Structure 1
Amino acid sequence: MATLMTCDPHITDPLAAELNAVIHGLQLAIDSGLTKLIVEGDSVSIIQALQSKDHNMSWLGNRVTEARNLLYQLEQWKLSAIPREANMVAHGLAKQALSVRQMEIWMEDAPTFILHAIQADVTR
């Protein structure tokens, strides 16, 4: 397991933040040598944009293409839209990221402030 947290003060839109998180997560997975990945997110529109074969003409189109290119570097991947209440680990990281100045990465162990959310996810 790996956990990444970063804050980009230039990103103020929730969809852009969600897509940014996907891109950072994919890059971390690739850099860590992972070849098979399941990406879960509670933004149905981001998941659908990534699954679509069409050229994305939205203002996030270049970032969608960037995420797709990262996905194509993986041997096997799956994208799943999940309910917000099943994505509390990501929301805990996002909330905490508002107070960090640089990227933080945890390998193997999760940060203590999200352990309760991980436990809740495991018991669902």
Structure 2
Amino acid sequence: MAATLRNVWFRRNCVVFENRLECPNRLMLSVKTIVKDQAVQTLGNSDRQEQVRGADTLSWEKPDCRYVKINWDASLDQKRKKMGVGIIIRDETGKVLATMCDQKGYVEKAVIAECQALRTTVELCSDLQLQKVEFEGDAKEVILSVSSEEELLTSYGYLVDDVRFHFKKNAHWSIHFTHREKNMVAQTLAKKALFIEGKKVWLEDFPKFIVGCLNRDFNFFT
């Protein structure tokens, strides 16, 4: 309506000041073009806003009060049949309580690597006697298997059973799936673990190569 009235006014000015009368069909075509251009611009702005919101939400989130959050991930080198494990433990303020890099051999499948990484994570948590814990990772298939009570008749079923055993003993442990963008620190640790000999544990400390990822996470939730 606004575009139509605007073009009618312009058409009237052409008659009054230029003694030129434009065809009504041309007026309506011009209106359609204006409306189409505005719709495209609005859609583009909406998409950009969604991208910004998406970037904001796809970042690490702090755990509940008095809980710690453990992010873990696995990396797999299929040629060498070797996997890396990356683990980071942070409290409700984002402070790093512990980080760990580890590697294991004779692993060929990604799902088994993820299961191995999760079992290593719960064992570390048990060793540290952490009671209120939120486990967070991007291995959706493994997390669903652990959360289920059904018997798992797969090659990695025994690993899932081991993890379930630890969860049954700890009433205040929970496990959740998260997007890879929220798991970047653990992912970086896991990739680096492939090139670090043996197990490396940093208590109340962290290696320098994850500083960039930590700063990104901290800037998002503060």
TM > 0.5 between the two? yes
How far is the alpha carbon of 1:110 from its aligned partner? 1.4
What is the alpha-carbon distance in structure 2 between the residues aligned to residue 4 and residue 72 of structure 1?
24
For 1:37 and 1:106, the matched residues in 2 are separated by 19
2:107 to 6, 11, 18: 11
Alignment correspondent of 1:38: 134
Contact 1:7–1:98 (CA<8 Å) still a contact in 2?
yes
2:121 aligned with 1:29, yes or no? no
Q: Indicate the structure (1 or 2) with the bigger Cα radius of gyration.
A: 2
Unaligned 5+ residue runs, structure 2? 1-96
1:108 corresponds to which of 181, 204, 218: 204
Aligned to 2:152: 56
For residues 211 and 115 of structure 2, what CA distance do their matches in structure 1 show? 24
The CA distance in 2 between the partners of 1:31 and 1:116, in whole Å, is 28
- Give, as a single letter, the amino acid of the residue that structure 1 aligns with 2:174: K
8 Å Cα contact 1:41/1:82 also seen in 2: yes
> In the alignment, which of 68, 77, 88 is matched to residue 184 of structure 2?
88
Which of 155, 171, 174 aligns to 1:75? It is 171
RMSD: 1.3
TM-score using structure 1 length: 0.92
**CA distance in structure 2 between the partners assigned to 1:121 and 1:75 by the alignment:** 28
Q: CA deviation at 1:115?
A: 1.9
Whole-Å separation in 1 of the counterparts to 2:214 and 2:170: 25
Task: Judge which range, 64-73 or 42-51, deviates more.
Answer: 64-73
Which region of structure 1 is more displaced relative to structure 2, 40-49 or 64-73?
Answer: 64-73
Q: Tell me the CA shift for residue 74 of structure 1.
A: 2.1
Q: SS state of the match for residue 104, structure 2? A: coil
Task: Provide structure 1 residue ranges, at least 5 long, that are not aligned to the other structure.
Answer: none
Larger RCO (CA under 8 A, 6+ residues apart)? 1
| 1:78 shift after superposition | 1.2
Instruction: Give, in whole Å, the separation in 2 of the partners of 1:121 and 1:50.
Output: 27
State the identity as a percent: 29
What TM-score, normalized to structure 2? Answer: 0.53
C-alpha distance after superposition, 1:10-56 (max 9, x if no partner) = 12322111111111111111111111111111011111001001111
